[in-house]
Amino acid sequence: MNAAVLSSPREISTRPLQIEQVPRPNAKAGYLLLQVRACGVCRTDLHIVEGELAPRRPKLIPGHQIVATVVEGGSSELRDGMRVGVSWVGGTDGTCWYCKRGMENLCDSPIFTGYDVDGGYAEYALAREDFIFPLPDALDDLHAAPLLCAGIIGFRSLRVAGVEPGDRVGLFGFGASAHLAIDVLRAWKCTVYVSTRGASHRDLAASLGADWVGSEDEEPPVELDRAITFAPSGKVVISALASLRRGGVVAINAIHLDRVPEFDYDRLLWGERQIRSVTNMTRSDAQDFLKIAAEIGMKPKVTGFRLDQANEALLAIKSDAIDGAAVLIP
């Protein structure tokens, strides 16, 4: 099969992914063989490909927003021929302190798709049966792919921030994840304030119904109940914190952040404001989000790339060259 393979992580402009012919994976007990229909490109893939997340395998096929057809190993619940999705968490141990308490997103030994095991930048992929989600028909391949990490983790961010219907919510950064979260916020009748760099990101936010849009260091005109930061920048966390009312929460949706600048506790955190990180996802986040996405007819803005353009797709994410999400079509 064709696959985009990472052997040595380095700066994306040097094209670290090589398009190669590699053996198709074999189905095994507990796993399903999937034929990839589309695979979303996530900022985490960029961190992996550039080596900000330390390599865990000598050779890796990245990709963890996989829309696929089950071709081998199907069961009564996930039959051969069924259209399914696979996300970032490709497995947990089910036995650790966290898993036993319903916090499988914090599992001691998680398996990450496209990081610990090969992912979806390929024509076929193998995935653990109990971490595969049937996809609603309402979502086509191209538009379902970005929901599988950007969407699910954006949704988890809303939960971690404690968003309630009608809240005033700030989104700091407006990439793939935020542009999906805003649909959920609107369905929940929240007032949405977007601070982001890039005129086209600001235009997209306005067209998706943001109530206020400003540049990345502009503070919203009101005190926020909740804020979610999507940019991989510690400075943005401070802007978000500075926008909160007392008792408000900032949720940081970023797997990697440059350093958070020193800040004034008395003015910014005192008053029971909270900063929380968002880490991975649970299977119920995935199921609940996919259900909502189908109900509200979520239609992400996507740009399609061929598999052999995987480097270009990642470069586009890094340079904010596209609005919404990038998706590879093998």
Which stretches of the chain bind Zn ion, using CB under 5 A? 42, 44, 88, 92-93, 96, 99, 107, 149
Shortest CB 184 distance to Zn ion, Å: 17
Evaluate whether 290 touches 85 at the Cβ level (below 8 Å).
yes
Shortest CB 103 distance to Zn ion, Å: 8
**Of 6 and 241, CB closest to Zn ion:** 6
**Of 130 and 203, CB closest to Zn ion:** 130
**Of 96 and 294, CB closest to Zn ion:** 96
Shortest CB 76 distance to Zn ion, Å: 26
Shortest CB 14 distance to Zn ion, Å: 22
CA distance 111 to 91: 5
Shortest CB 189 distance to Zn ion, Å: 28
Shortest CB 174 distance to Zn ion, Å: 16
β-pair type (17-21, 244-252): unpaired
Could you tell me which residues are beta bridge partners of residue 193? Answer: 170, 212
**Of 238 and 325, CB closest to Zn ion:** 325
Shortest CB 106 distance to Zn ion, Å: 8
Shortest CB 224 distance to Zn ion, Å: 25
Read off the amino acid at residue 328: L
**Of 44 and 233, CB closest to Zn ion:** 44
- With tokens 């994410």, the residue in question is 317
**Secondary structure of the chain as H, E, C letters:** CEEEEECCCCCHHHCCEEEEECCCCCCCCCEEEEEEEEEEECHHHHHHHCCCCCCCCCCECCCCCEEEEEEECCCCCCCCCCEEEECCEEECCCCCHHHHCCCHHHCCCCEEECCCECCCCECEEEEEHHHEEECCCCCCHHHHHHHHCHHHHHHHHHHHCCCCCCCEEEEECCCHHHHHHHHHHHHCCCEEEEECCCHHHHHHHHHCCCCEEECCCCCCCCCEEEEEECCCCHHHHHHHHHCEEEEEEEEECCCCCCCCCCCCHHHHCCCCCEEEECCCCCHHHHHHHHHHHHHCCCCCCEEEEEHHHHHHHHHHHHCCCCCCEEEEEC
**Of 3 and 107, CB closest to Zn ion:** 107
**Of 53 and 296, CB closest to Zn ion:** 53
Shortest CB 107 distance to Zn ion, Å: 3
Sequence-separated (6 or more) residues with CB below 8 Å from residue 208: 179, 182, 183, 186
**Of 88 and 230, CB closest to Zn ion:** 88
**Of 92 and 195, CB closest to Zn ion:** 92
